[in-house]
Amino acid sequence: MSASGAAARPSPVRRPFPTAAGVASALRRIARLLGSVALTFLGLTLVTFFIGRVIPIDPVLAIVGDKASKATYDKVAEQIGINLPLPVQYWRYLMRVLHGDFGTSIITAHPVLQDMAHVFPATMELAVVALLVGTLLGVPLGVLAATNRGRWPDQAIRFGSLLGYSMPVFWLGLVGLLLFYARLGWVDGPGRIDVSFDDIVTPITGMITIDSLIAGEYDVFWNALGHLILPASILGYLSMAYIARMTRSFMLGQLRQEYVLATRAKGMPPFRVVWVHALGNIWVPLITVIALTFGSLLEGAVLTETVFAWPGLGLYMKNSLFNADLNAVLGGTLVIGVVYIFLNMLSDVIYPLVDPRARERR
Amino acid sequence: MSATNLRIGAPTGWRGWLLDSAPASRNQARLGRWYRAWLGLRRNGLAMTGLVIVLALVFVALFAPLFANHAAAYTQTLTDRLQPMSWAHPFGTDELGRDIYARVVFGSRTTLTIVALVSLIVVPVGLAMGLPAGYFGGWIDAVLMRLTDIFLAFPRLVLALAFAAALGPGIENAVIAISLTAWPPYARLARAETLTWRHAEFIEAAELQGASHLRILFTQIVPLSMPSVIIRLTLDMAGIILTAAGLGFLGLGAQPPSPEWGAMVSSGRQYLLDQWWVATIPGLAIFVVSLGFNLLGDGLRDLSDSRG
Amino acid sequence: MTAPPLLEVRNLRVVYPGDDGDFRAVRNVSFSLGRERLGIVGESGSGKSTTGRAIMGLIPRPGRVEADAMRLGDADLTRLNERGFRRLRGKRIAMVMQDPKFSLDPVMTVGKQVAETHRYHFRSSWKAARTAALEMLEAVHIRDPERVYAQYPHQISGGMGQRVMIAMMLIAGPEILIADEPTSALDVSVQQQVLAIMDEMVRSRGMGLILISHNLRLVSSFCDRVLVMYAGQIVESCRANRLHAATHPYTRGLLTALPELGNRRAELPQLRRDPEWLADLPAQVGTAP
């Protein structure tokens, strides 16, 4: 048997080339993914259509408001085709949405989509920083809790994340403002930036911290950061609570597996067993969790932005809500819903990169 | 007791009977299981804290008039507005001179009502979607789960917000809005549980004996799925309370003058810097109650994990 | 027997505390192992796997391991902490487990899993470890090591997986291999191949092998010596070829329950368990005769 070892053939390292079957399965996967995205999108528009056209007793009145003249009323009634059969109305609604026409906002008198584009970067800026904080702290803490199951680090991390899990974000925001802004003065108050710094930087990405760095306006950057840090930390803490908790539970599932025992049996140090082997196996569910966290940060914006007077999508929706601006509310719902669908799709696309088993599944 | 020799220091008496690893009757096994669960819960100090908080919430909500004066929660006394904490007003008074302590106590009724109503809607709907999907499989499964996935892919709070906005503010509409977005996980769970048991031998035995599908679903599979549904519900309670409070904070929950914790935080916001208690105390109540549910749910899930 | 044993175990006990008292999973277990193949047979729950894991220091909390003596060559296993055990695992004592589908890390190429054992124990570079791993894969009769090296566990067959497992465990040259049901999860057709490879490796390297199995026939045909475990203790210890002369009623019961070719019986006798078998035995010494 050692003869075959001696006769070492010059066998080149074979790189896995995509085979015909592999390409076909990848295409099928993409087709299925797009199918489910389309279906979810249809479901979403059905719901927003239902909310906007079916629930209000008089949808025309909901659009024009009760101070409108008879002529305006009739014009809008004609425009939205209130007398047409519901499926036809839905079809027209869907077509308009697909063309980016979400209607006009009552308060701003702009097209809703244009308003959204204007406020969305502020929401993104906050959510991205919070997600970074949450992930960079949450994953390691979750791992630490799992490997110390039942001992004090686990208890402390679990309790800390349960606390975060239980806090109403709007209340935590108020307490944070009261403590760190009003009493201690460590951070800047509500809003994205001081009024005196308004309009210094031309928006490129719409995220003030990035735009100010691009423009080299460091004063603006520091001021924006001072405003950003409190809401971002609070949202980051809440995200961390969720991510740490899920990481812990995924890790506990992995640490019970046979391969962990085998890896220990061949003498691998705990660091490698835990951070390379076990952690390597939970990226798929973890990516889903991180995507979900991002989604909940976006929708939680309605509450946080209200508390911090943060001029983003959430505050826009909340203001629309109070002015019975249904077009704007539903537009916001659609935008956040689409981002949700996109996030789900994104995690589906990332899976094969982190898990070899997902590469050829069916 | 066949294992006498392998165990040392085994308990005797009624504890021994409850903890016997070879129970002689179905009742002994059942009681033993409950007793073991209780022992596990009792060892977990945090979960016990949670249980106490939840029981306290239920008790206070049911017997609210014993804890606070109903009139104090509703009567506006403008001469007494924004009073700091004192013996007469343990948590101070709000901008209309109402006693915050009394409003927090009576607000527990609103919270409990929402939580109870949402559970009563969400669990049956989830079971109705999940059980047939797991039990019959095939196209029924495909259709029901696709529907569930679609709802699962929606942003919960924002959708609840849109619903509440269209339906108009109010506690019933808040309940409907929350329920509409909260059922999908229960459908998933019920389906998964059903799949676990679907091909168990005792289910197949019941089928062979001619039990109808409906009978098997209700007498065998529903009771088997209940523990995980209850654990999930306990864990979800906190989320439901927070969503309800969020809707209240945005003015879409219970309408004034009825006390609702989220709305109380909202109306106290403008006095935050000078009369901090008006906004923070009701928020603290939300936090404590949802923490209680979380602690309890977490402990229960731990128990079910270590047994499974 | 002149050479000192590779492994000596005296009065090993493994205890799991529980609500209903402490459960004694392993008790009164004594044996020693030379450069031989020792089989441990028993039904599930008899403590055979627990014995193997106790020797490697892999009993999870809150389980406790106690022994009057447990010695691996010059190392006193009773006094080792986790760090000390880690230095022995893979390097001096290793373990092959039941099902490669579960005992290999699903998201790391199998070659890398073999190589990392080498890397850790010899502080070698990835390049050197890779060369050593390829050699090792070749040694366990994997025909195209370069190709297998880059594959993931779900892409290879069970028999191949178990060879990889053996390569991964033996690459750092341990003196003792504990094989815990190494063929139970495999197709019958490849069971013999895997056993043959394991035998070849153990013989050529002068190692001691502990084969843990529920399969009495497999153990008696493959091993030099057999320990029979029941309810946590060793009830029988003899040379494999003397098994027919076993004295303990449990062993005798197992033997008569084995179906035999050419010996037609209307019915296989059922094993009748005697509560007396549970009584503590004096810690007997199963040394090599």
Q: How far apart are CA B220 and CA B203, in angstroms?
A: 8
Q: Is the Cβ pair B291, A158 closer than 8 Å?
A: no
Q: How far apart are CA A343 and CA A349, in angstroms?
A: 10
Give tens-digit pLDDT for A50-61.
887 766 656 677
- What's the confidence (pLDDT) of residue C277? 79
Same structural domain, B276 and B224: yes
Preceding peptide of A87 cis, ω within 30°: no
Residues C77, C55: contact at Cβ < 8 Å?
A: yes
Q: Where does the pLDDT of residue A362 fall: very low under 50, low under 70, confident under 90, or very high at 90 and above?
A: very low
Give tens-digit pLDDT for A198-229.
777 777 888 888 888 888 888 888 888 889 99
For residues A53-74, one letter each, b for 16 or more C-beta atoms within 10 angstroms of the residue's C-beta and e for the rest, the string is bebbeebbebbbeeeeeeeebe
Residue A344 scores a pLDDT above 90 = no
Q: Is the Cβ pair A340, B154 closer than 8 Å?
A: yes
Residue given tokens 């022995």 in the structure block: C88
Walking along chain B (308 residues) 10 residues at a time, the average pLDDT comes out as 58 74 75 78 83 92 84 79 79 82 89 91 91 86 84 78 79 86 88 82 82 82 82 86 90 83 88 85 93 89 63
Q: Is the Cβ pair A171, B295 closer than 8 Å?
A: no
For residues B235-257, one letter each, b for 16 or more C-beta atoms within 10 angstroms of the residue's C-beta and e for the rest, the string is bbbbbbbbbbbbbbbbbbbbeee
Q: First vs last Cα of chain B: how many Å apart?
A: 24
Chains with 3+ CB–CB pairs under 8 A to A are: B, C
Total domains, chain B:
2
Lowest mean pLDDT among A169-173, A326-330, C177-181: A326-330
Higher pLDDT, C129 or B27: C129
Residues C89, C121: contact at Cβ < 8 Å?
A: no
Q: Is the Cβ pair C275, B7 closer than 8 Å?
A: no
Task: Please give the average per-residue pLDDT across A141-166, as a whole number.
Answer: 91
Report the chain C residue with the minimal C-alpha distance to residue A12: C146
A4 phi and psi, to 5 degrees? -65, -30
- What's the confidence (pLDDT) of residue C160? 93
Q: Is the Cβ pair A280, C105 closer than 8 Å?
A: yes
Mark which residues 23-62 of B lie under 8 Å from C by CB: 36, 39
Comparing C-alpha atoms, which of C195, C229, C192, C199 is closest to residue C27? C229
The neighbour count for residue A12, using CB atoms within 10 Å, is 7
Mutate to test the interface with A, among C98, C107, C147, C180 (most CBs of A within 10 A): C107
Within 8 A of C146 by CB-CB distance, chain A residues are 11-14
Same structural domain, B208 and B155: yes
Report the chain C residue with the minimal C-alpha distance to residue B21: C20
Q: Does C130 touch chain A (CB under 8 A)?
A: no
Q: What is the DSSP string of A43-92?
A: HHHHHHHIIIIISSS-HHHHHH-TT--HHHHHHHHHHHTTTS-HHHHHHH
Cα B237-B243-B249 angle, rounded to 5 deg: 135
Report the chain C residue with the minimal C-alpha distance to residue B10: C21
**pTM attached to this predicted model:** 0.84
Helix (H, G, I), strand (E, B) or coil at A259: helix
Give tens-digit pLDDT for C229-243.
988 889 888 898 888
Q: Where does the pLDDT of residue A11 fall: very low under 50, low under 70, confident under 90, or very high at 90 and above?
A: very low
Higher pLDDT, C264 or A221: A221
- What's the confidence (pLDDT) of residue A10? 39
Task: Please give the average per-residue pLDDT across A151-175, as a whole number.
Answer: 91
Min Cα–Cα distance to chain A from B15, Å: 26
Q: Is the Cβ pair A40, B150 closer than 8 Å?
A: yes
Question: Which of C58, C116, C144 is opposite residue A265, by nearest beta carbon?
Answer: C58
Q: Does B8 touch chain C (CB under 8 A)?
A: yes
Within 8 A of C88 by CB-CB distance, chain A residues are 267
Give tens-digit pLDDT for C23-75.
889 998 999 999 999 999 988 888 899 999 999 999 988 889 999 999 998 88
- Boundaries of domain holding B34: 1-43
Residue C287 scores a pLDDT above 60 = no
Sequence spans of domains, chain C: 7-278
- What's the confidence (pLDDT) of residue A17? 53
- What's the confidence (pLDDT) of residue C150? 93
Give tens-digit pLDDT for C142-198.
999 999 999 999 999 999 999 999 999 999 999 999 999 998 888 888 899 999 999
Same structural domain, B139 and B257: yes
- What's the confidence (pLDDT) of residue A57? 59
- What's the confidence (pLDDT) of residue B308? 35
The neighbour count for residue B157, using CB atoms within 10 Å, is 25
According to CATH, the topology of domain C7-278 is Rossmann fold (3.40.50)
Task: Please give the average per-residue pLDDT across C89-113, as a whole number.
Answer: 93
Give tens-digit pLDDT for B162-203.
877 777 788 888 898 888 888 888 988 888 888 877 777 888
Q: Where does the pLDDT of residue A63 fall: very low under 50, low under 70, confident under 90, or very high at 90 and above?
A: low
Residue A73 scores a pLDDT above 80 = no
- What's the confidence (pLDDT) of residue B293? 92
How does the average pLDDT of chain C come out, rounded? 88
Chains with 3+ CB–CB pairs under 8 A to C are: A, B
- What's the confidence (pLDDT) of residue B41? 78
Residues A285, A250: contact at Cβ < 8 Å?
A: yes
For residues A189-228, one letter each, b for 16 or more C-beta atoms within 10 angstroms of the residue's C-beta and e for the rest, the string is eeebbeeebeeebeeeebbbbbbbeeeebeebbebbbbbb
Higher pLDDT, C249 or B307: C249
Q: Is the Cβ pair B238, A36 closer than 8 Å?
A: no
CA dihedral A99, A105, A109, A112 (to 10 degrees): -40
Q: Is the Cβ pair C89, A265 closer than 8 Å?
A: yes
Mark which residues 200-229 of A lie under 8 Å from B by CB: none
Same structural domain, B208 and B120: yes
Within 8 A of B10 by CB-CB distance, chain C residues are 20-21
* Domain A112-361 class, CATH top level: mainly alpha
State the pairing for strand pair C208-213/C225-230: unpaired
- What's the confidence (pLDDT) of residue A7? 37
Q: Is the Cβ pair A175, B252 closer than 8 Å?
A: no
Sequence spans of domains, chain A: 33-98, 112-361
Residue C126 scores a pLDDT above 90 = yes
State the pairing for strand pair C7-16/C176-180: unpaired
Provide the total of helices (H) and of strands (E) in chain B, helices listed first: 15, 1
Q: Where does the pLDDT of residue C268 fall: very low under 50, low under 70, confident under 90, or very high at 90 and above?
A: low
Task: Please give the average per-residue pLDDT across A294-318, as a whole number.
Answer: 89
Min Cα–Cα distance to chain A from B261, Å: 11
Sign of CA dihedral A241, A243, A249, A251: negative
Q: Does B242 touch chain A (CB under 8 A)?
A: yes
Give tens-digit pLDDT for A86-136.
888 888 888 888 888 888 887 788 898 898 888 999 999 999 999 999 999
Within 8 A of B3 by CB-CB distance, chain C residues are 278
- What's the confidence (pLDDT) of residue B136? 86
Min Cα–Cα distance to chain B from A21, Å: 26
